[in-house]
């Protein structure tokens, strides 16, 4: 079955450490997105990519970095510059430039500080 796989499900970060969250999709979608979810805040866009080797900052990109070297993969790195990384992170994908098509979400990664 096609879908989006996020790993790991739970992740712990030490002070000063960078961590990378994995997102893989086999839906053949061009567009991929990373969202951060905090209690009561909804989904806030971190980065998004409409095509391979191209990505744009979302609303809360500071302290995060991404790469898009392959169509099916869009990893997110939470850097040490992100001072409050504890949150639920969701990856999504969709057909490119499609305002009339849904975004498909992974099951999320919950990141906490040790």
- Pick the closest to residue 53 from 67, 72, 73, 34 (CA basis): 67
Residues in Cβ contact with 1 at an 8 Å cutoff, skipping those fewer than 6 apart: none
Site for other proteins in 15-74 (CB under 8 A): 31, 33, 35, 40-45, 48, 50, 56, 58-59
Closest contact distance (angstroms) between CB of 102 and other proteins is: 4
Closest contact distance (angstroms) between CB of 15 and other proteins is: 26
CB nearer other proteins, residue 81 or residue 98? 98
- Say how far apart CA 23 and CA 3 lie, in whole Å: 11
**What single DSSP character describes residue 53?**
T
CB nearer other proteins, residue 71 or residue 80? 71
CB nearer other proteins, residue 31 or residue 78? 31
What are the tokens at 88?
Answer: 């639920």
């Amino acid at each position: 079955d096609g879908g989006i796989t996020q790993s790991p499900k739970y992740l712990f970060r030490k002070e000063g450490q960078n961590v990378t969250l994995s997102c893989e999709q086999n839906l053949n979608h061009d567009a991929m997105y990373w969202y951060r979810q905090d209690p009561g805040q909804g989904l806030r866009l971190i980065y998004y990519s409409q095509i391979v080797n191209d990505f744009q900052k979302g609303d809360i990109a500071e302290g995060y970095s991404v790469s898009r070297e392959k169509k099916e993969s869009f990893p997110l790195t939470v850097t040490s510059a992100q001072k409050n990384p504890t949150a639920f992170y969701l990856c999504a994908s969709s057909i490119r430039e499609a305002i009339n098509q849904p975004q498909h979400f992974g099951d999320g990664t919950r990141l906490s500080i040790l």
